[in-house]
Amino acid sequence: EGPLVETGGGLIQSGGSLRLSCAVSGFSVSDNYMNWVRQAPGKGLEWISVIHGAGTTYYADSVEGRFIVSRDTSKNTLYLQMDSLRPEDTAVYYCTREARPYGDYLDYWGQGALVTVSS
């Protein structure tokens, strides 16, 4: 296993909620910018959220108001709470680490968690 391991994916009905977890090893989740990126089946990559080391969060318009990113420093774990899920949220969700201060790129990726939203 790598330094990022996502869990919590599954099948959920439209309008439901799901929480993804990303267990981090080898570095501190609170000392890094942590991002969530998703990939719909057969589609490209879409950035959806970030939590900065100081705790500031940002979201893509497509999930703003429905998704919340958070972290538990005692468990060194990142979370993505997803509410009011829609069929178009069906995707593999990747937990990633941003390589700051060296650059605005993603140097570590988890294996991904599949979320399927049925209508």
Contact positions toward other proteins, by CB under 8 A? 35, 37, 44-47, 50, 58-60, 94, 99, 102-107, 109-112
Q: How far is the CB of 5 from other proteins (least distance, A)?
A: 11
- The C-alpha atoms of residue 72 and residue 115 are separated, in whole angstroms, by 22
Q: How far is the CB of 108 from other proteins (least distance, A)?
A: 8
- The C-alpha atoms of residue 40 and residue 31 are separated, in whole angstroms, by 29
Contact 96, 5 (CB under 8 A): no
Q: Which is nearer to other proteins, 7 or 59 (CB)?
A: 59
Q: Whose CA is closest to 93, among 83, 77, 72, 79? A: 79
Q: How far is the CB of 66 from other proteins (least distance, A)?
A: 16
Q: Which is nearer to other proteins, 13 or 58 (CB)?
A: 58
